[in-house]
Amino acid sequence: MTSQKAYSPLCDIENVLPILNKIAIFGGLSEKQLYSLFRLLQKVSFRAGEYIFEKGDDPGHIYIVRSGKVKIVARVDDVPMELILFDVGQCFGETSVIAIQPHSADAVAVEDTELIVLSRDALLSIFDSDKELFGMLILNIAREACRRLHQTDEILLHYVLRNNRGSGPRI
């Protein structure tokens, strides 16, 4: 389990809104909705090599890279495999939060990194205060999950086709 970090409120809305506007899960939100969301966001910092979460940890946050880089690493037979690298303005952890399932891989800061975070509790509080905003966020998260699943399908199909060339059809 990863260590507890200090989360602090964001105070610089003029620097954060341009980042939020580029994130798929916040797409289509009005300025008023973005301001409502901003009030719920926090920030947290990690040093290079520090774990943000580990496989098996309960999901508690949606993460947005404000500075630095984060890699998602899976272990196969104790061999680490980098699955994806998230850069500034990219978002991760949202599907684990929605699915309420433990993380399936580790997230590690590649360099000193600052993250903008939306806690699961804050996301659920939106359900009580603004159902339209909550619905948009959930729909956008579902769309992003579908896009990632489609990309994964393409990669798997490419891998299967590459490995089956010359071996004839399989039934």
Does the pLDDT value for residue 110 go beyond 90?
yes
Judge whether 61 and 117 are in contact, CB under 8 Å.
Answer: yes
- Domain of 104 in residue numbering reads as 8-164
pTM: 0.85
Both tokens of 99, joined, read: 């699915």
Question: Is 171 within a domain?
Answer: no
Give the Cα separation of 150 and 46 in Å (integer): 31
pLDDT in tens, 115-164: 999 999 999 999 999 999 999 999 999 998 888 888 878 878 887 888 88
Question: Is 75 within a domain?
Answer: yes
The residue-averaged pLDDT of 11-22 equals: 85
The residue-averaged pLDDT of 25-34 equals: 91
Encoded amino acid at 52, one letter = I
Question: Is 85 within a domain?
Answer: yes
Question: Is 1 within a domain?
Answer: no
Q: Pick the residue with more confidence: 152 or 46?
A: 46
Both tokens of 42, joined, read: 């926090």
CATH code, 20? 2.60.120.10
| Among the listed residues 143, 141, 130, the one whose alpha carbon sits nearest the alpha carbon of residue 30 | 130
- At 76 the pLDDT is 83
Tally of domains within the chain: 1
Does the pLDDT value for residue 77 go beyond 90?
no
The residue-averaged pLDDT of 59-69 equals: 95
Question: Is 157 within a domain?
Answer: yes
Question: Is 2 within a domain?
Answer: no
